[in-house]
Each structure stands twice: as structure tokens, then as C-alpha cells.
Amino acid sequence: MHDKTLIELAAGLTAGDFSSRELTDHFLGRIERLDNELNSFITVTAEQALACADAADATRRQGDAGPLNGLPLALKDLFCTQGVRTSCGSRMLDNFVSPYDATLVEKLAAAGTVSLGKTNMDEFAMGSSNESSYYGPVKNPWDLAAVPGGSSGGSAAAVAAGLAPAALGTDTGGSIRQPAAFCGITGLKPTYGRVSRYGMVAYASSLDQAGPMARSAEDCALLLGAIAGHDPRDSTSVTRGVPDYQAELNTPLAGLRIGLPKEYFGEGLDPDVEAAVREAIRVYESLGASVQDISLPHTNLAIPAYYVIAPAEASSNLSRFDGVRFGHRCENPSDLIDLYKRSRAEGFGSEVKRRILMGTHTLSEGFFDAYYKKAQQVRRLIRQDFLDAFDEVDVLMGPAAPTPAFDLGANKDPLSMYLQDIYTIAINLAGIPGISVPAGFVGQRPTGLQILGPHFAESQLLNVAHQFQQATDWHLKRPVFGEENS
């Protein structure tokens, strides 16, 4: 059952081939047997999952089951889940049990899904390798010596290893698309504001966006339909109707105009990754699409702009973790200042501290105009680059990451790690949607094709990705990890 897509599992439930309880028990068994080596979950909610599965089976017997009813999923551990620890991969929140559900969690529960548990992640979503987690690094099921990508690495690894048929992640600068590419699955970052951020612990509020991670674009379309939509509790949520994302999946691609940003095919791109991406583009040409080179001239400014804006917002968002109201508190503080200092020093890891310091500095008097204001001006230029490009083409394509998954511990300095996001960060600065789909291998490690579209063009992106997956079988490949234990 763990080799089936979400759509196939839904069909099996409808046909009565198995119950939700049997399906849930199967995935819980795989997690118990295999995740000690992978470390993709922080918290497994087995008892709660089986109770939800029984409720889903009862709903199906009554004839009220929707398309997601009874399907097991995993949640990145920054979505607040009532009665369940929500740690954000940090010692700071190791003891925090959420008193409420995030809107996304509410919507999935209303659809009848079954949460298997909370997946491992880079601490407070800050990282590109899943090595900054307080609970230890996640390993890539294709090669246990490699990282799974970050910060949604636990979600990506769990889906790739068949520990969950799908998972929810978040993307602030590539944290859905890069791990999807590294783990050989499909990951969609929606338009900013398309999915509610209420109850999603914030890293950078103007950049964070939740999205689905699954085997196929068809699976992602099914999930996006359940989680998208306006939420009055989230001031950044867009008041806009939710289309039927599955309705356009089979639209032919004849006449599709594909743009190839020249900045995405230059120095720093692994030649084997480039070869896989260009072969994928040839598949699109065979499906009737046309290809042209374009330019996104401010791409080289995306990383410096991002690493001013995101840490500045993180500095503000993480100021609430002070040892007073919730989260980690130091022992025997001598006074209030000592409580603040030691609680934060003990609760946060090195990468989070680094970004808080960067952000506090750029927001301080005398530096705000020189750094933060200037970065926001650059952000506007980057956004305009995409708007201009989409006047000429329908979608943009390129690599999701400059290399395949790198070895655990390979990128020891922060700058090398930050450069891993060179092809993904600008998309978050512009607020547009993007999807990564499996497009081949470099050795035994997967690589991904990134497809970008205009604001609220998720239906088109899913269609373009689905048609590629109908013509190729990269998304059907499975790692040998754990198969002997089936």
C-alpha cells in the first residue's frame, strides 16, 4: 500500500479494498520499524490516528465520505495541533503542546484525513539540509549518507520512504521545493496568501507559505483543494475563490510557452543536474510546448535581499520566545534579564541565533535604511522581473537546486548552505507559485525540475507538472530503503 499514490489509495478506500484503519495501521507499522534510521518524525500520534481512521470508516459507511476521507498524512512540526507537541524542531518548544489547531489542520481534519504525526524539520524552518533540528538530522532514504533538504526535510523523507503517502510542509525560501527535489517527490509552493498561515509558527511572515508534498502533481492538486482558501483569522490570506485544481490536469500542452531564465543555467549549476533539466524540457517540446530564453536580471540580488528580510522578520517573530509565557525556561534565574538571556541562549540553536542577530542588526537605528529598506526595494525589482517575464511566456522552468542532495555535514559554513537556495529564494520574494517534480538522477540521488507561474496560476502549474508525469516515470521511482521490511 505504501507504494501507491494518494489518488490510488483514495480509489482503494472507495472500492473497499481496505479500510482507513488498515491503511493507517500499515503506515504506523512502517514508521515504527523504519524511522529510527531515517529520523523523519518528531512525534507519532498513533492512538489519535487510529481513532480518526475509525471515525473516517464510520463516515464512509454512512455514505458521506469526501475524496480525502480516511487518507493518512503527516504534518511538518510547525503547524499547531491541539493536544499535540508542536516543537518547530527546537529545544525552545520541546515542551509546548498547542491548545488549538492551525487553520490548515482544521481543514484537513474536516476533510476526514488522518494525521500520523509531526515531521522533523530545521529549527524554526531555518536551514536547507534538516541538520539544524534539535532532534537530530533527517537522512535521505535514497542515500542515508545524504541530507533530505530543508527545512521540510522530514516531510519529504517520510513521503519518499513510504512512511506517509503525503505530507504538508512550508516554504519560506525553497523549503518545500528543494527537499522535494532531493528526495524525488513532488512539492508545491502556492502563491503567497493562497493558504492560511493562521496557526503556522512564523519564521518570516511575508515569505512563509504552506503547501503539499506528495508522490505526484495529481496528489498535490487534491490536497491543495482542501487547504486553500480565505481565512478571516489570517490578515495575509487572499479573498479569492478556490478553483477545482484537478479539473485542468489533463489539458493538452500544445502552445505552452516555456521560458528558460539564463541566470538559472550558469556558473554553479552541476552539469548532471543541468542535463536532467534540459532532457525534461525536451519532453515538454515533444508535448507541443515552445521554449525560449529569457532573463531575470536581478536574480543575483535575491540571496542578499532574502538574508536581510527573512532574518529581520525572524528577529521580530522569535522575540515572543522569552521563557515567560511558554516554551523553554532556564533554571533558577537571578532576575528577569537573566531569565530572558539564559532561556533564549539555551532554547535556540546556533543557526537560529545567527539569524536573530543578523535581523536585529539590520533593523537597528542607523542600519534600517541601508539594509532593510534597500532589500525591500530590491525585492520589488525581483518581483517586476517575474511580471515582465510572464508577459512573454506562460511558465518558467529550471533546476530546483544547483546540485543533487549533498552529504550530511558537507556544508559547514553558512554561506555555502545559503547558496543552495539560489534558484528558489526569488520566488518567495515575488510571492509567485512554484512546483518541483522529479526529473532524473545524479548517481543514485534524485534531482528536480522547478516550474514557476504567475500569481494564482497553481492550476496551470499542476497541469504542466501532471502532463510531464504522464509522459515520464521519474515520480514512480522508489528508494530501496526499508523494502525488505515492507
**What is the set of active-site residues?**
76, 151, 175
Query: 263: Cβ–Cβ under 8 A, 6 or more apart, which residues?
Result: 295, 296, 297, 299, 300
Query: How many whole angstroms separate alpha carbon 377 and alpha carbon 308?
Result: 12
Q: For residue 43, list its beta bridge partners.
A: 118
Supply the DSSP string of 403-472, one letter for each residue: SSPPBTT---SHHHHHGGGTTTHHHHHHT--EEEEEEEEETTEEEEEEEE-STT-HHHHHHHHHHHHHH-
Instruction: Measure Cα distances from 363 to 117, 307, 372 in Å.
Output: 37, 13, 7
Query: 157: Cβ–Cβ under 8 A, 6 or more apart, which residues?
Result: 38, 40, 130, 138, 139, 140, 141, 148, 163, 179, 183
Of 203, 41, 183, nearest to 120 (Cα)? 41
Contact 421, 435 (CB under 8 A): no
Maximum pairwise Cα distance, the chain: 70
What are the cell numbers at 318? 522569535
Query: How many whole angstroms separate alpha carbon 446 and alpha carbon 340?
Result: 44
Query: 21: Cβ–Cβ under 8 A, 6 or more apart, which residues?
Result: 50, 53, 54, 57
Of 65, 54, 89, nearest to 75 (Cα)? 89
Query: 215: Cβ–Cβ under 8 A, 6 or more apart, which residues?
Result: 5, 6, 159, 165, 166, 185, 186, 475
- CB burial string 100-138: b at 16+ within 10 A, e below: ebbbbbbbbbebbbbbbbbbbbbbbbbbbbbbbbbbebb
Sheet hosting strand 209-214, strand order edge to edge: 41-44, 114-119, 72-76, 166-171, 209-214, 186-189, 434-442, 445-452, 395-399, 257-261, 290-294
Query: How many whole angstroms separate alpha carbon 75 and alpha carbon 53?
Result: 16
Count the neighbouring beta carbons within 10 Å of the beta carbon of residue 387. Answer: 12
Q: What is the CA radius of gyration of the chain?
A: 21
Secondary structure letter of residue 190 according to DSSP: P
